[in-house]
Amino acid sequence: MNLSIDDLKQQNLILLNTISGSYAYGLETPESDTDTRGVFILPQDMFYGFNYIEQVNCDRNDHTYYEIGKYLKLLAKNNPSSIELLFAPENSVIFRHPLMDCINSEYIMSRLCRDSFAGYALNQVKRAKGLNKKIFNPISEELPQPIDCCHVVVGDKTVPAGQWLSENNMLAERCGLSALQHVKDGYALFYADDCKAEEVRFNGLFRSDGSDANQSQDVCLSSIPKGLHPRAWLVFNKDEYSRRRKDFHEYRNWEQSRNQQRYQGTLEHGGGYDAKNMMHTFRLLRMAKEIADTGRPKIRRPDRDELLAIKAGRYSYEDLIAKASAELKKVDESFALSALRDEPDVEQIERWAVEIRKACYSNK
């Protein structure tokens, strides 16, 4: 049995419902969507049975609800998303069940927030500009072919197999391969035209009917006449071919599902990084410092104008990295002097889970 967000609402299972994302942070623009996030409790039979569901969300993940057990476990790890829910501004709270008031932040907020908030912030930096960032590393629309990952040994170097065949006026379908013993993915390459005694037909380098689903993932071996000398030695990098195919399909899927508006914005500002990720880097770093200094983050951001300027791509990537490093140093200095507990009181957090469940299920 599955639960939808409509099910949660219709069955009165929601314990906390908030407006989240840009509207909660005060960073909304005319293009912003309204996201929601909250907490629910499973129906009693589902909780006691085999069908535990820890999270319910829509397809795009802009409406996400955590089961009370998972939510409290996330709090026990000082997870940023769960802490943002804990301190949700009153004007962003759609509904809060009185039972949620038993959750006391004094037992939760700890030095773990340094790594959970600042660590996540640094991950946003990596996502903003990484070697594998899809926005800046487009992949050709041509499906990778096995021959793209084959090389022929020529002297003390290797040459791409396609190039070698072209330079030697040879056709892939006239080639025959036999495996080389003791050489992983190494083959002796023969050519049908070299057989003078009789007409031979080799199987070519690869066998395929041309469709992606049936594209050969390996070389095709042939029966080689005795006495025929190989033209060359060929190596097929199977791991590289598998990786290229995986990257190709992931990129095509990403093209279909990407946020087109965000994609165009990233291209237009010309900074060579995902500016929205960089904005969240600084939001998280500053929340981390606020937690170290005061025990709670400011969800609705007082630095709205600066954060939106970062999102608009008005800074160079290098300047932002330098700025982030300086702010991270301040975060570490604040945590070194912080009065926060070393870690959350997990036993107390677990007691809340028991108390809330007992209260909910007894009322049902």
3-state DSSP percent of the chain in helix, strand and coil, to 5: 50, 15, 35
Q: Cβ distance 356 to 99 under 8 Å? A: yes
Question: Does domain 1-108+344-364 sit in CATH 3.30.450?
Answer: no
- Residue 179 C-beta-side C-alpha neighbours within 13 Å: 9
**In the chain, domain spans:** 1-108+344-364, 146-239
> Residue 127 pLDDT > 80, yes or no?
no
The pTM for the full model equals 0.64
DSSP 3-state of 336 = helix
Q: What is the pLDDT of residues 266-319, one digit of tens each?
A: 444 445 577 888 899 999 999 999 999 999 999 999 999 999 999 988 888 888
Of 175 and 260, the one with more pLDDT: 175
- Give CA–CA dist 90/113, Å, rounded: 23
Residue 134, pLDDT above cutoff 60: no
Mean pLDDT, the chain, integer: 87
Q: What is the pLDDT of residues 26-45, one digit of tens each?
A: 999 988 889 999 999 999 99
Local confidence band at 130 (pLDDT 50, 70, 90 cut-offs): very low
Residue 64: which pLDDT band, with cuts at 50, 70 and 90? very high
- At 247, the pLDDT band (50, 70, 90 cuts) reads confident
**How do residues 182-238 score in pLDDT, each as one tens digit?**
999 999 999 999 987 778 889 999 876 455 544 556 889 999 998 899 999 999 999
Task: Look at residue 140 in the predicted model and tell me its pLDDT.
Answer: 77
Q: Which of 119-128, 320-329, 343-352 has the lowest mean pLDDT?
A: 119-128
